[in-house]
Amino acid sequence: MSATIVELRELLATKYPQTPARLEAHYEFALSSLGSVSFPKAALTEVCGSAGATMLFLHVLFEAAHRQKFFTALIDGKGTFAPESFSQVSNLLWVICENAEQAIRSADLLVRDGNLSMIVLDLRLNPEQQLRRIAASSWHRFQRLLETTATTLVAVTPRPLVACASLRFQLHGRFQLSELSQRRNVLLEQLELAVLRERSSAPLWELRTA
Amino acid sequence: MFAVIYLPRFRLQAVLRWDEQPICKAVAVVDEESATGEILETSEAAERAGVHAGMSSTQAMARCPGIGLHRRSLGQEESTNAALIDVAFSATPFIELTQPGVCTMDLGRSGIEHDENWGEKMAECLARLRLQAQIGIAENPDLARLAAQTADPVLVVGDSFSFLSGLGINALSPSPEVAGVLQNWGIRHLGELTRLPKQQLTERLGRGAAELWNHAAGRTERVLKLVRQPETFKEFFEFEREIETTEPLLFILRRLLEQLSLRLQCIYQVAAKLTVTLPLSNGTNYQRVFTIPAPTAEVNTLFRILDTHFEQLQLDHAPVALHLEVEPAKPENQQFQLFENPLRDPNRFGETLARLAAVVGNGNVGVPEVVPTHRADQFRLKPPEFTSSSFEGVERSGAEVQTGIPLRRYRPGLPAHVQLMKGQPAYIVSDQPHGRVIAIEGPFLRSSDWWDSESWRTEEWDIETAEGIYRVSNTNGNWQVEGCYELR
């Protein structure tokens, strides 16, 4: 999509706020009460956190993507995604990988393709040994490739791993078994978000309070 | 008015269509079925060297040692005929395939201006399809055919009498007996033949002579046997010998695509589906169908889709031929809305999906669809379409998608030993959770298919240990860790 169209959309959204929600939806993600944080477009974002916290984050992300009508890819580094746990996945391309190496190669193909608005690379459950084998140059390559597209790459990792991430935030949440019967928006309230790194002059996807 | 497109030396053209070897060299088509390898058709150079149709291959090689002999290919003749028809259909729907390599078109009913320029454009179009054509335009089909046989490359017959007068008797291919008698009478040209009285000629030489006279006078009228426009477009190539690498296959595939693309463009259509069939040396076929996400006639786009697949293809037996079939569609005229987010390049996306499938394996890429069953972890992956209808699916609701943390599922589940206390898990030993169970929820009983021998029953527990929160299941005493909700 050319920059002119994006600018035109922004201009229209500003001038005509009463236009359908789809206009502004592109730039907003409602993530309960995590506070206000922004996603850099055409850049790499890293999300660190526990398995549960990151899954809640993905739940919000996929719901927002479906509501706002854009196509998303999930590169599942360990093949652990359970589609039955999500309400709507018809706009989600699921790539089931065996290991981190396959996941990185898949991400490379999708980033170069540039057709999808958002690509989620989930390496949260991949063994440390596999994560150590990912060359730093891969992340730099992604960063360079993303600059020429309108795609956002979100890497979900167990610990800070992506040196060149434009944004890195950590999700903290400690859940008990007894809390699993609560609704997800209640669980989201318990998440704490800490921005570890923010380095972007690029346009931002807003991730803000509903 | 009628026009005839005539492909001289049709069988030779069909065989040499994909060859770089020019037809001006001494070449011939051989009938492999005949015991002596009979020569069916020859190039002009071969004729000059004394090689004629009907000779045996050894005779031909004796007369012209450098002659190139090619076996006849019915498949390639069929594709050449199809290409001829496609070009004809670009001008009018009233087409007759008079014989292989000869196509008659009724121009009067389609209101086409039948001038020489039009004929030259048709000849150029056929030249792009690597076919050398002669085009004749005249007031009736038989006259147009005679004109085509003598055209260079286009001949419009205005005065049929003067045109026919100058033609030799052999142009009408009379029977040998009639030809012999006419020769003895000193009749060499059609003009001389028509000066003879028709009735007396018929009395002496029979009904065949009457037909010959009518042809010579340009007075034949007949109804065209119209052919229907093909629903698919096919090209065929037979390899001289079995091929062992993908390079020659891709080379020919691109050539065939170029030709099919031109044929599609002739009738203003695009490719919606490609079917590639490779007959293998063991007599079986390898077939693959490619659906084009955004139908197009652009060769590079179509070739990339095929190239991605064939680069990684490994076959147990070598291909001996190549069939390429295209299912056409009308080009889509779609204007996206300003606020719509379609795929920018669906064909490129399709190609990326093929590459992804090559990396992670077929069946590991797609849009997940949950199968409506009680059995755990039942889903199928659909090829993504990613149109605006992708957002119109029914939203799943219920406790599983609204409450708790989404499960991360281990595939396959991890085997575990679970120690029970009062019928509940108390201690677990497995690769991942290992230790005392702090809290439990469950059991959640699942069962189905009780009505047949495939019936199953399992109980699931959510357990919390010092390492995290997990789902474990017990099926007939076999415990396994299904997945985790949270890890610490």
DSSP string, B124-174: HHHHHTT---EEEEESSHHHHHHHHHH-SSEEE-S-HHHHHHTSBGGGG--
DSSP letter at B317 equals S
For residue range B34-89, what is the model confidence (pLDDT) as tens digits? 888 889 999 888 888 889 888 898 999 999 888 888 888 888 898 888 889 888 88
Is B338 in contact with A183 (Cβ distance < 8 A)?
no
Dig out the tokens for B85 from the structure: 């028809």
How far, in Å, CA of B236 to CA of B260, rounded?
11
Q: Rounded CA gap, B467 and B240, in Å? A: 66
Where are the extended beta strands (E) located within A149-191? 152-157, 167-172
pLDDT in tens, B399-452: 566 788 899 999 888 999 999 888 889 999 998 888 899 898 878 888 777 777
Percent of chain A with pLDDT over 90: 32
Q: For helices B246-266 and B299-311, give the axis angle rounded to 10 degrees.
A: 150
* B204 pLDDT more than 80: yes
B-interface mutation test, from A115, A124, A172, most B Cβ less than 10 A away: A115
Partner-chain contact B367 A112, CB within 8 Å = no
**B393 CB neighbour count, 10 Å cutoff:** 14
CA A91 to CA A156: how far, in whole Å? 20
**Residue A81's pLDDT band (boundaries 50, 70, 90)?**
very high
When pLDDT is averaged across residues B15-25 and rounded to a whole number, the result is 73
Which range among A135-139, B3-7, B188-192, B256-260 shows the weakest confidence by mean pLDDT? B188-192
As to burial, measured by CB atoms within 10 angstroms (0-12 exposed, 13-18 middle, 19+ buried), residue B37 is buried
Distance of residue B366 Cα from the nearest chain A Cα, in angstroms? 5
Confidence of residue A187 (pLDDT cuts 50, 70, 90): confident
- Residue A21: its pLDDT value, please? 37
Residue A210 confidence (pLDDT) = 37
Average pLDDT over residues B360-371: 89
Residue A167 structure tokens: 């944004």
Asked whether the beta carbons of B465 and A31 are under 8 A apart, the reply is no
Residue A18 amino acid letter:
Q
Taking CB atoms and an 8 Å limit, are B485 and A97 in contact across chains? Answer: no
| Residue whose pair of structure tokens reads 């390559």 in the numeric block | A141
Q: Are B29 and B106 within 8 A, CB to CB? A: no
What pLDDT is stored for residue B371 in this prediction? 85
Tally Cβ neighbours within 10 Å of residue B438.
12
The lowest-confidence range among A32-41, B433-442, B466-475 is: A32-41
CA distance B405 to B471: 12
Tell me whether residues B368 and A87 touch, CB distance under 8 A: no
Residue of chain B whose Cα is closest to the Cα of A13: B339
Work out the number of other CB atoms within 10 angstroms of the CB of residue A10: 15
pLDDT tens, residue by residue, A156-166: 999 999 988 88
- Give the span between the Cα atoms of A152 and A39, in whole angstroms: 8
pLDDT confidence of residue B194: 84
Give me the torsion for CA of B40, B43, B48, B54, rounded to 10°.
Answer: 0
Find, among A190, A195, A198, the residue nearest to A32 by Cα: A190
Question: Which of A32, A59, A109, A125 would best serve as a mutation to test chain B binding (most B beta carbons within 10 A)?
Answer: A109
CB contact under 8 A, A177 and B462: yes
| Of A9 and B203, more confident | B203
What is d(CA B39, CA B27) in angstroms, rounded to the nearest whole number?
10
- Across the interface, do B404 and A181 touch by the CB < 8 Å criterion? yes
pLDDT tens digits along B92-118: 888 899 989 999 998 877 766 777 888
Tell me if the bond preceding B383 is cis, omega within 30° of 0: no
Q: Nearest residue on chain A to B360, judged by CA atoms?
A: A97
For residue B394, the model assigns a pLDDT of: 59
Residues of A in contact with B379 (CB under 8 A): 83-84
Query: What sign has the CA pseudo-torsion A131, A137, A143, A146?
Result: negative
Residue range B304-333: average pLDDT?
86
pTM: 0.67
Which one has a higher pLDDT value, B18 or A19? B18
Residue A31 pLDDT > 60? no
Q: How far is B405 from chain A (nearest CA, A)?
A: 6
> Among B103-117, B152-166, B354-368, which stretch is predicted with the lowest mean pLDDT?
B103-117
Examine the pLDDT at B385 and tell me if it is beyond 90: no
Place of tokens 């019915």: B74
pLDDT band at A28 (very low <50, low <70, confident <90, very high): very low
Nearest CA in chain B to A63: B395
Beta bridge partners of B83: none
Distance CA B108, CA B51 (A): 42
Mean pLDDT estimate for chain B: 85
Q: pLDDT: is B163 or A1 the higher one?
A: B163
d(CA A44, CA A144): 10
Are A6 and A185 within 8 A, CB to CB?
Answer: no
Q: Do residues B426 and A165 make contact, with C-beta atoms less than 8 angstroms apart?
A: no
More confident residue, B483 or B167: B483
For residue B379, give both structure tokens: 């889903």
* Closest by Cβ to B408, choosing from A9, A82, A105: A82
Q: Looking at residues A32-57, what average pLDDT do you find? A: 77
Which pLDDT belongs to residue B370? Answer: 86
Tell me the mean pLDDT in the region B155-173. 82
> Cα B465 to the chain's mean position, in Å?
60
Q: What is the pLDDT of residue A101?
A: 94
Least confident of A41-55, B18-32, B336-350: B336-350
pLDDT band at B168 (very low <50, low <70, confident <90, very high): confident
| Residue pair B329/B295 in contact by the 8 Å Cβ criterion | yes
Q: Taking CB atoms and an 8 Å limit, are A175 and B486 in contact across chains? A: yes
Predicted pLDDT at A158: 92
Handedness of CA B127, B131, B132, B138 (dihedral sign): negative
How confident is residue B315, by pLDDT bands cut at 50, 70 and 90? confident
| pLDDT in the model for residue B390 | 65
What percent of chain B stands above pLDDT 90? Answer: 17
Residue B198 has pLDDT above 80, yes or no: yes
ipTM over 0.85: no
> Distance, in angstroms, between B305 CA and closest chain A CA?
14
CB-closest option in B348, B377, B390 to A90: B390
Cβ-defined contact of B468 to A106 (cutoff 8 Å):
no
The pLDDT-based confidence of B463 (bands split at 50, 70, 90) is: very high
Give B352's contacts in chain A (Cβ within 8 Å): 109-110, 112-113, 115
Q: For residue B179, name the pLDDT band (cuts at 50, 70, 90).
A: confident
